[in-house]
Structure 1
């Protein structure tokens, strides 16, 4: 039997209820009870409209003449209301408390018995409907969460691609900028060293062996930088055959240990007999980073040292102090 039929009294039931009930005048917007209130009164609408708001994005109900609500408060006693009840329009209600209900039982036990069976069935169906709605809502919420996780994963992958160099997998310039911005936001105070790395005679590798071999050489350089970079360090391909490595360091000696390792590893790989080159010699410019300065200032110092290393024949490291040496 539909819930709307169960909520409406028959003509004989309404006449019986009206014979003992108290009449209450209500006005549009008036609150009858709030969700969670303890109640012992049942209501029958004589005229007007009443809204039951169950909250938590559940569907509200609008009740009209001869429909009843609040029966659990009457049948159970001190029952916590499951909805907010308020008058939509001016109207009248029949109020029934325990003493009025006892009189109903005395007057027509058979009719009241039929009403009680219907009222209990209505409660059961309402609870089952609520459970179904909550289950559907949970399923919808789970689907939304799954979609959100998938979207977040896609965004993370996209962000990783945006800040990564496609050929080598190292950070690109965008990734470098984001790394530096993150350090500034976190007010990082650990010292940094900067290594600018450039491939010696890389154009000759491309011209002599082709761009696929050239790409493998760049990947070899990237592997060296990746192997030496520790937690918090950053290896980056700036473009072409130019790389950089930001390392945690407070002294020149610490930075130079990184630089010597990079140059020495490339030299060792070059000594391996190969028909086509896997690596080329490297020139490095190194400096300490002034945390109060800007990237362009750090780059200028390291670049001055790198230019000097290239001019001296490459395959070496040159150090640059705070003031760039003249070219």
Structure 2
């Protein structure tokens, strides 16, 4: 006979020798023997017989009333009634700890059996006790198998929930990225820049920073003469210049239309202006390579230092004033602004 056949034969023998298989109900003969040996006690609704984790030393047989076993961890509770037993592992296994809370949910009586009472059972009717032990072992095995199946289902449910959470988080991250990012150029948009500035202010700006505003000169003429697809390519190339000059902590952004900006980590005026001059000189160099269809256009750049104690609108106004001055001087250049000029008199 194969090993599988032997295992099946043993399982069938155990089940045949143990009436009721894995149930916790005593036969009439067993109940009479346990009642004769056990210590009878009353139980009251709401009374707790033991808690999870308590040391187990006694087995219980219910004569009347009902007891609920709560295994915790979202596992199903179990209710037992007359002629049913529980807690047998506390009697049969040394240093066993309870795996459930046992609470009386109905007034009644039960019998307690410890090591002394169990020895009396063996002395009185060893064959009946052997039958009880076989059934108890089968019950434990079946309960463990059921618990394993339940835990597997819970693990599968948990894995499904985690997969769904990952997918949702990924979608939210993509949505957040779309909200912050300019679709045409892949740079931050105005909203993304604002959120970044707010986060910097919330955490506290511990490094000097500079703001560089960039505006395309005569961009409308590119659109009018060559169409919006060519205009889009020009904007993408300007964005590429900003991306190439930006460091790991710098933030290139398309504010809208043909207006860009670059928020940079910089120690002072000279360092900020190096960014601004690089952008202008790069566009000038590319303009010398122009073909019939333009791929770049000249730019005007305004730059200033960012002061943490001032408002974002103040930074922008100062850089915008510098940009306006670069435009007024003919464009295709960078201009620095130390202080925001006062508003023009009407």
TM-score normalized by the length of structure 1: 0.97
Which runs of structure 2 are paired with 1:109-148 in the superposition (5 Å)? 109-148=126-165
Does residue 152 of the first structure (1) align with residue 169 of the second (2)? yes
Which one is further off, 126-135 or 237-246? 126-135
Show the counterpart of 1:199.
216
How far residue 284 of structure 1 moved from its aligned partner, in angstroms, is 0.6
How far residue 317 of structure 1 moved from its aligned partner, in angstroms, is 0.7
1:31 to 48, 60, 63: 48
**Secondary structure at the counterpart of residue 95 of structure 1:** strand
Show the counterpart of 1:47.
64
Which one is further off, 238-247 or 12-21? 12-21
Cα distance in 2, alignment partners of residues 29 and 237 from structure 1: 69
Does residue 236 of the first structure (1) align with residue 260 of the second (2)? no
CA offsets 1:5-52 (integer angstroms, 9 cap, x no match):
620111111111111111111111111111111122100111111111
Measured at CA, do residues 189 and 299 of structure 1 come closer, stay the same or move farther in structure 2, by a change above 3 Å? same
2:334 to 289, 305, 317: 317
1:217 to 229, 234, 237: 234
Show the counterpart of 1:21.
38
Measured at CA, do residues 238 and 3 of structure 1 come closer, stay the same or move farther in structure 2, by a change above 3 Å? farther
**Secondary structure at the counterpart of residue 85 of structure 1:** strand
Does residue 186 of the first structure (1) align with residue 203 of the second (2)? yes
> Does the CA-based 8 Å contact 2:210-2:263 persist in structure 1?
yes
Show the counterpart of 1:254.
271
Measured at CA, do residues 60 and 203 of structure 1 come closer, stay the same or move farther in structure 2, by a change above 3 Å? same
Q: Root-mean-square deviation (CA), in Å? A: 1.5
Does residue 164 of the first structure (1) align with residue 181 of the second (2)? yes
> Does the CA-based 8 Å contact 1:266-1:282 persist in structure 2?
yes
Unmatched segments (≥5 aa) in structure 2: 1-14
How far residue 78 of structure 1 moved from its aligned partner, in angstroms, is 3.0
Cα distance in 2, alignment partners of residues 218 and 3 from structure 1: 81
Show the counterpart of 1:269.
286
Cα distance in 1, alignment partners of residues 25 and 292 from structure 2: 93
Show the counterpart of 2:302.
285
> Does the CA-based 8 Å contact 1:3-1:125 persist in structure 2?
no
Cα distance in 2, alignment partners of residues 104 and 286 from structure 1: 96
How far residue 133 of structure 1 moved from its aligned partner, in angstroms, is 1.3
Does residue 103 of the first structure (1) align with residue 120 of the second (2)? yes
> Does the CA-based 8 Å contact 1:304-1:325 persist in structure 2?
no
Measured at CA, do residues 281 and 20 of structure 1 come closer, stay the same or move farther in structure 2, by a change above 3 Å? same
> Does the CA-based 8 Å contact 1:3-1:122 persist in structure 2?
no
**Secondary structure at the counterpart of residue 89 of structure 1:** strand
Cα distance in 2, alignment partners of residues 237 and 19 from structure 1: 89
Measured at CA, do residues 3 and 56 of structure 1 come closer, stay the same or move farther in structure 2, by a change above 3 Å? farther
> Does the CA-based 8 Å contact 2:45-2:104 persist in structure 1?
yes
How far residue 113 of structure 1 moved from its aligned partner, in angstroms, is 1.0
How far residue 3 of structure 1 moved from its aligned partner, in angstroms, is 7.6
> Does the CA-based 8 Å contact 1:213-1:277 persist in structure 2?
yes
Unmatched segments (≥5 aa) in structure 1: none
